[in-house]
Copies of this chain bind each other. A is one copy, B any other.
Amino acid sequence: MSDERDFLDSYDPAAYTPVAVTVDVVALTIRHSRLHVLLVERGAHPFAGWWALPGGFVQQESLDAAARRELAEETGLRSGEGLLDRVHLEQLRSYGDPGRDPRMRVVSVAYLAFAPSLPDPQSGGDASGARWVPVDEVGELAFDHAAILADGLDRARAKLEYTPLATAFVGDEFTIGELRAVYAAVWGEELHAGNFHRKVLSVPGFVESTGETSTRGGERGGPKPRLYRAGDARLLHPALLRPTREDGVR
């Protein structure tokens, strides 16, 4: 069949410029009550020695699969072991400015990943220079990765408001206090414990009780909190809005 020939004949020769497609992953987790992002140290030029988002070329697989594969490679986690499969992964957006990679035209499809606290990397991955970095300690990054990270953080902060995404940062069973710590870490501000508690329980389908309580109180005292699981809601109604930040960007 001459389909591909027709295809290639049908557009402007300028389009023949070779293009590479990569995925980059903004992987977020919470450690010690602080939001962390997974970064890798680049070995090769350009930006050798710089920190960058994990990522790589898309192979013969879907974009989603490429992102999950890259995440597995950089964290050393294997599919089927449970941990990796519970990571929430969603497409963020694509970045394709000419010149964003000095070598050739590269269009990168960025992904956003949310995970419960994961072990340190290097345990088997091919990027030995990978580590979790608190998002407020991230310095300059290679390529346009700083902008991608900023977009990812914006998205994450917004999605906590109207989706039950926060449950992706905690284990299967969790306390309301742990859930509140997720919001505090991602939004960077404390939330009123009492009102948060009531609010979470009042949103239909956000969490469901396990009937159990934690075996221990908090580290610094307090009663044994009850345990909850994620509910079946995919959107929060009414939403859990952020403390009003100057009433929107004007």
Contacts and interface: CB of A to CB of B under 8 A. Distances in A.
A102 interface: yes
Interface of A: 3-4, 6-7, 10-12, 14-15, 17-21, 44-46, 56-63, 91, 93-98, 102-105, 107, 109, 204-205, 232-237, 244, 247-250
Contacts of A103: 3-4, 7
Nearest to A45: B3
A3 B57 contact: no
Copy tally for this chain in the complex stands at: 2
B250 A236 contact: no
Given A4-B103, A15-B59, A57-B11, A234 B205 contact: no
A110 to B, nearest CB: 9
Contact of A94 (B17, B20, B91, B236): B91
Given A17-B59, A57-B11, A59-B17, A248 B205 contact: yes
A15 B57 CA distance: 6
Contact of A247 (B56, B97, B105, B204): B204
B11 A58 contact: no
Contacts of A249: 234-235
Contacts of A107: 21, 58, 63, 107, 109
A209 B234 CA distance: 39
A104 B15 CA distance: 15
9 nearest CB pairs, A to B? A235-B248, A15-B57, A63-B96, A237-B248, A14-B59, A234-B249, A94-B94, A237-B247, A19-B21
Contacts of A45: 3, 6
A27 to B, nearest CB: 19
B58 A19 contact: yes
B63 A94 contact: yes
A46 B2 CA distance: 11
A106 to B, nearest CB: 9
A232 B14 CA distance: 39
A57 B59 CA distance: 20
